[in-house]
Chain A
Amino acid sequence: MRAFLGLVGANAIFLACGWSLLLALQLIERRPIDLLRSAGLALLAGLGGLCSILILLLCAAVPVTIVTTLIVAIVWVAVALAVPVVRRRRAAGAGDRSTSLPDQSDPLRAPVRRGPERYLTWALGIGIGLFFLSALIQSRHVGLGFDAAHIWVFKGIALFDFSSLPRELLANPALGEASQGYPILQPVFESVLMRVAGEAQTHLVPAELWLLLAAFASSIPFLLGRRARPILYLGPLIVVLPFNGGDILVSDADVTIGLFAGVASLCLAQWLSGEGRGRLVLGALFLTAAANTKDEGYAVAIALLVLTLLIVLVGRDWLRVRWWPVMAGIVLVGALPWKIWVSHNIPYHATPTPPLSTMLNPSYLFHRTSQLPVGVEAIISTITNTDQFMLLAPGLIALAGVCLFTRAERSLAAFYLGATVLIFAALALVYWSSNQTDLTSYIAGNVSRSVSDLMFVAAVGLAHLMTRVAGPAFEAGAP
């Protein structure tokens, strides 16, 4: 019962933060149907944003207790809810009576489609819902997996017990297997769950991870809008949802980073495609959350930031060029405090990869040239495994390639293709620069998890591209 209350209570806090943010960004209105439809996105935004702020406080030596968490959440909600009020007053002062959503042509506002497709969508939606329910029930009473016991839940319990960053544990060389320098967003939200539950209930973690994956599954349709055809975007989502199920059962963080990377890429792609600045803020927030979840998240954040800048510069979109520093600023402010804390408090290198300066050292890389093909081959054989990924990566490459060749949705295709290539390159660099003695075993043990962010971005990219490319043809009466 306590576990259930913990799960409900903590997610209620995350939802409140997320909904208020979506209201402030004018992505929803204060209507029950809007709140319901945006619940998944609100949960991800609330959890990612609130936990990033809690990390900032922890790095500033502020004790994070249940009271601190509630105060931060209340201040967040109050500020976010004040934004629409201030906006309305300003508009009234300027004599502007349009106080509702600024862009009524937003696809989120499109009319509901009727017909057989609607029943198919409902059937698929119910099927996906039953899958999550079964998976949630199945994950009760599981033990902790190796990485969870040593890294994620270990730190989560420590944060729950001490309400601050326990330097004795995080800087203890005897505990090197805990990868103490790893980012801590997942341990932070685990500690919030435990605090609300009142005790260190470890089986809350897989339950929360299933909820987050379900939130991701409902975020994509919400962001794509009601004009998007579900039969076009549901395929890639259905393929990507179950592949990391084992990692959820063992309470790892691979799904967490994957879904943040996926939603971030969609928000930024939509911003590049001309949708409002709300998408930019959400994209930056999700990039921050990804960077705060795992080291790979920094690579995702850098890749997407660089790519976004390149696309707006090449497109000479000077308005968006001016907004780019805002996005980069949000990511820097949100993601750097943990790195700074680690560099000041952990006297030795406590992550399984060498420091970035070493990874980018040409001489160091040259002496490990033989490792590059090993890593590349492992990544490619994993992402082309049709039993697991049903052509997600080749599908994205094919569709984006055809789009670029035929000049259809070029910037969108370039963005997603570029994102997957850069994330691929970052992972290949990790294996290339690895100092593991038995590299083959090391890669074999983690490559199927490490491609998580890549596959989530590929799935989201494919879903987005497919709806943008084939949607108008459907509207025109194609099969």
Chain B
Amino acid sequence: VADFFVPFSGLVAQVAAIVVAGAVVAILLARWRLSMPVAVALVLAAIMLGLGVSSLWDTLPALDNFKSAALSRPPGVDARQLCFAQEGQQSVIPLETWAAAHMPPNGRYVVATPTPGLDFVCFAQNMLPRILEPTAASADYAVFMNGIPAPFNTEPRSGHLPLAVGHILVYSSSVGVARIN
């Protein structure tokens, strides 16, 4: 029980300090006959206006630092692809860009062989409006990012868009986009 109440001690101390400050103000400004609520309100208004204004302006450089540290984009990475870079998956970006360029905008796909630790949401977000399907049965395309399985690996038939069913376009020996349905 004691452990539960320990965190509240800081809060209680701050509340008590404000009330005491209000009482002091009420005594010091006795000739205006301030009630306690008015005195506490005046104390809070003075504290918040005084410290708040400087804090407001300190925020701008802090935001700038935050922007540089967390949201700056490496060269060639657009705003939507930053999620790959943030998770150390920058190598996925060219594959994703290539896959999106080689699938029609209304394409429905599955990632048949994902790269280890692939961020599926980031991938799906960047592939929009192409839809990531939960299963191959409902998909038109399969994206291979980590090896191309049989039968597509036997004789890659890199051709032109639109792909016919069973055909594959390859980016490298382990990356390709195949029409499966």
Contacts and interface: CB of A to CB of B under 8 A. Distances in A.
A478 B44 contact: no
Contact of A238 (B53, B120, B125): B53
A161 interface: yes
B64 interface: yes
Nearest to A128: B56
Interface in B33-78: 34-38, 40-42, 44-49, 51-53, 55-57, 59-60, 62-64, 66-67, 70-73, 77-78
Contacts of A127: 53, 56-57
Nearest to B62: A245
Contact of B41 (A158, A232, A241, A386): A232
Interface residues on A, range: 35 or more
B96 to A, nearest CB: 13
Contacts of B42: 470, 479
A154 B124 contact: yes
B37 A143 contact: no
Given A157-B128, A172-B134, A234 B49 contact: yes
A198 interface: no
A395 B48 CA distance: 10
Interface string A378-410: 001101101000111111011101110110110
A479 B53 CA distance: 21
B3 interface: yes
B66 A246 contact: yes
Interface string A142-161: 11111001100110011001
Contacts, number: 230
A365 interface: no
A150 B122 contact: yes
B108 interface: yes
A222 B22 CA distance: 28
B38 A478 contact: yes
Report whether over half of chain A's contact residues are helix, strand or loop; otherwise say mixed: helix
Given A135-B63, A150-B121, A232-B41, A478 B32 contact: yes
Interface string A161-184: 110001011011111011000000
Given A406-B36, A473-B34, A177 B70 contact: no
B133 interface: yes
A172 B133 contact: yes
Given A131-B56, A232-B45, A394 B15 contact: yes
Contact of A391 (B44, B70, B120, B125): B44
B27 interface: no
Given A242-B59, A394-B14, 13 more contacts: A138-B64, A139-B67, A142-B71, A144-B80, A149-B80, A174-B134, A231-B45, A392-B48, A397-B11, A398-B15, A399-B18, A470-B45, A473-B32
